Amino acid sequence: MNHMRRTIPLLAALLALACDRKPPAGPTTGEDDHADHATAGASNRIDLPERVRQNLGITFARVESRRVAATIRVPGRFEWLPSAKREYRAALPGRVEVLVKQFDKVEAGTPLFRLDSPEWHKTRLALAEALAKVEQAKHAIVIAEKSRTEAEQGANVVRQRIAGLAEAQVRRAELEAELARLANSIPRLQAEIAARTADLRAAEQQFPLLLASASSATGLGASELLAEVDAGGKKVARWETIDRIEVRAAAAGVVESFAVTNGAWVDQSAAVLSVVDPAALRFRATALQADLGKIKDGATASIVPPGAKADPVGAIPATASLGLEASPDARTVELIVTPTKPAAWARAGVSAYAEIVTDDSVDAEPAIPLAAVVQDELARVYFRRDPKDPNKVIRVEGDFGVSDGKWVVVASGVKAGDEVVLDGVYELKLTGGGKTTGKGHFHADGTWHEAGTPEPGKK
């Protein structure tokens, strides 16, 4: 009690000092006070310049249009979506050279680590050999075709000589034997061409398979591997110049953890590091089973930052849907609340509240944070910031409606977009500002009407 008696005059003096007004020099009688008050014209407006706001810790909250009667608040926490985390593994056994640090932000295409793998060198060798086989098969076909052509041409020449000798009634057995040999070689040479063609087809089929394997190992597409690059003044395929596999980020995110140390030898498919997308979040909340009939899939919702006395700009719009599991013992049910836009304060594991609208047909009403309302003797009051002068506030005895424990409907005196005192409202009440001990009442514009005097505009 003694502490309260000392605090009230101190706050009143502080308010007067900050407003560049001197407190009374000494005690005065109640009659003098009333006379001075009546003479000056009482007002429920309180001067609240910047210095006072700082000394009293004054903050403001905006009046919002809310469906207080049709909104439920449920606690919950943020968690990663299953797709938020991406692991990067070694496609081949080899030695790892890490190129990033933990918690580094990476973009799509950022190099993460390099892999020096003997298996990759074997793959390059196999690709080179496959290309060589293709070329060899092509040359073998050309040779076989030329051999067949030569045999056909030789057979024609011998045939013509035999025909010429026949006209002269001369027969040469050796020419007939040569013709028979050449004629018999043509089917064999034709078969040789078919065999070389099959070799070519096999070699041409082997190369794309090896290229696909190289693409899986490097993360580069077939067209990228085949693209020509300059190497020592000559154009070669890109895969020929890759001596170490460089693994790049597939999507933007933050490096979360490492499974190996830099320079370690890893086996094929071993995990190297993981990257997580901080924005890939969902909010898992817990509601009472008694509210099951109120909550609809796709309901309008918002997620309120932890510890916030009122919804700041950081509240996240979202949609809510019923989860798959419920607790028969706790009589609760899971809700999955999906944010529709990211927020800087949202992190996996952060606890917050989801506000879910149960009936969109209910009209929104002006509401203020319940923390902005303070009991002043028999009245519940709040302090509205003067729209005409931001360095003043107006003491208002509230006409309150329904409350959800966080917000309370104000039936009159404010509109959406107005500001009310939030932090410091109790200290502001202790100053005693904005009220009078004389008989009368305040008008809506904040002017005091003393009892027994005509109302403005009336005789």
How far, in Å, CA of 179 to CA of 339, rounded?
88
Q: C-alpha 231: how far from its chain's center?
A: 41
Contact 46, 21 (CB under 8 A): no
What CATH code is carried by the domain that includes residue 315? 2.40.30.170
Q: State the residue for tokens 């077939």.
A: 222
Written as six digits, the tokens of 341 are 């836009």
Task: Please enumerate in sequence order all residues whose Cβ is within 8 A of that of 350, keeping only pairs 6 or more positions apart, or say none.
Answer: 77, 78, 306
Using alpha carbons, list the distances in angstroms from residue 176 to 170, 173, 184. 12, 5, 12
Q: Are 429 and 330 members of one domain?
A: no
Backbone angles phi, psi at 179, to 5 degrees: -65, -40
In a domain, 158, yes or no: yes
Instruction: Enter the tokens of residue 446.
Output: 């904040």
Does 238 fall in a domain?
A: no
How confident is the model at residue 156, as a pLDDT? 80
Same domain? For 272 and 289 the reply is: no
**CA 435 to each of CA 24, 33, 377, 396, 430: distance values in angstroms, whole numbers, following the listed order:** 17, 13, 12, 9, 11
Q: Which two tokens stand for residue 256?
A: 């979360």
Same domain as 212, residue 125: yes
Reported pTM: 0.66
61 Cβ contact partners less than 8 Å away, ≥ 6 residues apart: 309, 310, 368, 369, 372, 419, 420, 422
How far is it, in rounded angstroms, from Cα 324 to Cα 355?
20
What distances in angstroms separate CA 198 from CA 148, 194, 201, 202, one per listed residue?
17, 6, 5, 6
**Would you state the pLDDT for residue 155?**
78
Residue 435 maps to which CATH number? 2.40.420.20
* Domain C-terminal end among 357, 387, 418: 357
Which pLDDT score is estimated for 29?
39
Using only the alpha carbons of the chain, give its radius of gyration: 44
Residue closest to 244 by CA, chosen among 352, 132, 97, 360: 97
- In-domain check, residue 232: no
Q: How far is CA 77 from CA 338, 349, 364, in A?
A: 12, 6, 27
pLDDT of residue 237: 92
103 and 171 share one domain: no
The verdict on 53 and 124 lying in the same domain is no
Residues 108 and 122 in one domain: no
- The CATH number for 172's domain is 1.10.287
Q: Which of 116, 57, 44 is nearest to 262 (CA)?
A: 116
Do 111 and 124 have their domain in common? no
Q: Tell me, yes or no, whether 233 lies in a domain.
A: no
351: DSSP letter: E
Give buried/exposed letters for 374-407 (b at 16+ CB in 10 A, else e).
bebeeeebbbbbbeeeeebbbbbbbebeeebebb
Amino acid identity for residue 233 in this structure: G
For residues 253, 257, 262, 263, the Cα torsion angle rounded to the nearest 10 degrees is -100
Give CA angle at 385 (383, 388), nearest 5°: 145
**What is the maximum span of the chain, computed from C-alpha positions, in angstroms?**
164
Examine the domain organization and report whether 255 and 402 are in the same domain: no
- In DSSP notation, 289-335 reads GGGTTT--TTEEEEEEPTT-SS--TTPEEEEEEEEEEEETTTTEEEE
Tally: H helices and E strands in the chain = 7, 28
pLDDT of 16? 52
Among 227, 282, 278, which residue's Cα sits nearest to residue 251?
278
Residues 216, 287, single domain; the answer is no
Give the three-state DSSP class for 93: coil
Among 158, 162, 164, which residue's Cα sits nearest to residue 179? 158
Q: Across the strands, what pairs with 274?
A: 87, 257
What values do phi and psi take at 18, rounded to 5?
A: -65, -30
For residue 95, give the CATH number of its domain: 2.40.50.100
pLDDT tens, position by position, for the chain (459 residues)? 444 444 445 455 555 544 444 444 444 433 333 333 333 445 688 888 888 888 878 889 889 888 898 889 899 999 999 999 999 999 999 999 999 999 999 999 999 999 999 999 999 999 999 988 888 888 888 888 888 888 888 878 777 777 777 666 666 677 778 777 877 888 888 888 888 888 888 888 888 999 999 999 998 899 999 999 988 888 999 999 999 999 999 999 999 999 999 999 999 999 999 999 999 999 999 999 998 888 888 999 999 887 655 555 578 999 999 999 899 999 999 999 999 988 888 999 999 999 999 888 888 899 999 999 999 888 899 999 998 898 999 999 888 999 888 899 998 888 888 999 998 888 888 777 766 654 544 444 445 455 566 766 665
- Please indicate, yes or no, if residue 175 is contained in any of the structural domains: yes
Domain boundary among 335, 357, 379: 357
Query: Is residue 458, in this structure, part of any structural domain at all?
Result: no
Q: Is 111 found in the same domain as 248?
A: yes
234 lies in a domain?
Answer: no
Whether 300 and 351 map to the same domain: the answer is: yes
Helix (H) / strand (E) containing 284: strand 281-288
Residue 286 to residue 323: CA distance in whole angstroms: 9
Domain end residue (candidates: 323, 339, 357): 357
State the total domains in the chain.
4
Angle between helices 118-167 and 173-218 (to 10 degrees): 160
Domain span holding position 158: 118-226
End-to-end Cα separation, the chain, in angstroms: 47
* In-domain check, residue 349: yes
* Position 167, amino acid: E
Q: Are residues 59 and 91 in the same domain?
A: no
